[in-house]
Homo-oligomer: A and B are copies of this chain.
């Protein structure tokens, strides 16, 4: 049932937006999470310009895959078009997150990918976290940049130039996890490079770590 699914996703998104605060990924209202409604051409997303303290399951809004408001009393996030584009072009994606998290955005401001020099990066990102193009808000340019950049990488995160981070996942929780880990490794690699050059990890080791992580880690 779609309406039960939507209710569950509204509650999940309210919780997940709190995770953005818990892990220090957002300032004021800048950051949003969405979740695809499985079995319907819809997704649920944060309303625009609402403070995290005021977010409730009820305040979330539902959009179609063109980003048009379908259900909810508030305007959808100003980043809705980018989320919609990802859902239209990446059917395997069930959740999308956008933040301006500090260290990741510092890399993005230089348009520079984060090199894979940590085993935790090999695990979660399977290699570097790539940098995408500069794109203006308001049309499909951001969405196109996200999809085109992710197509060439294992990484569920992309650093959009001069802007911030978009992450994807099989569901919204996985996308939030990718956003948390992206900021964590962005910070660690930044700090490591401040005092020298981190040593690389052999590609075969990166491959082996990524494969093991996807198939062994967690509860099965």
Chain A residues packing against B (C-beta within 8 Å): 23, 27-28, 30, 47-50, 74-75, 78, 100, 102-103, 105-107, 109-112, 117-120, 134, 136-138, 161-164, 177, 180-181, 183-184, 187-199, 201, 205, 208-209, 212, 216-220
Give the residues in chain B near A164, CB-CB below 8 Å.
119-120
Complex A-B: 6 CB contacts under 8 Å:
A27-B184, A30-B181, A49-B219, A78-B216, A119-B162, A136-B208
Bound-complex Cα distance A212 to B112 (A) = 27
Query: Can you name the residue of chain B whose Cβ is closest to the Cβ of A74?
Result: B219
Can you add 12 more A-B contacts, CB < 8 Å, to A106-B188, A120-B163? A23-B27, A27-B183, A30-B120, A100-B188, A102-B191, A106-B189, A106-B191, A109-B117, A109-B192, A110-B195, A111-B199, A137-B209
Bound-complex Cα distance A117 to B219 (A) = 42
| Shortest Cβ distance from residue A181 to the other chain B in the assembled complex, whole angstroms | 6
Please tell me if the beta carbons of A47 and B199 are within 8 angstroms of each other in the complex: no
Please tell me if the beta carbons of A119 and B163 are within 8 angstroms of each other in the complex: yes
Give the residues in chain B near A105, CB-CB below 8 Å.
118, 188, 192
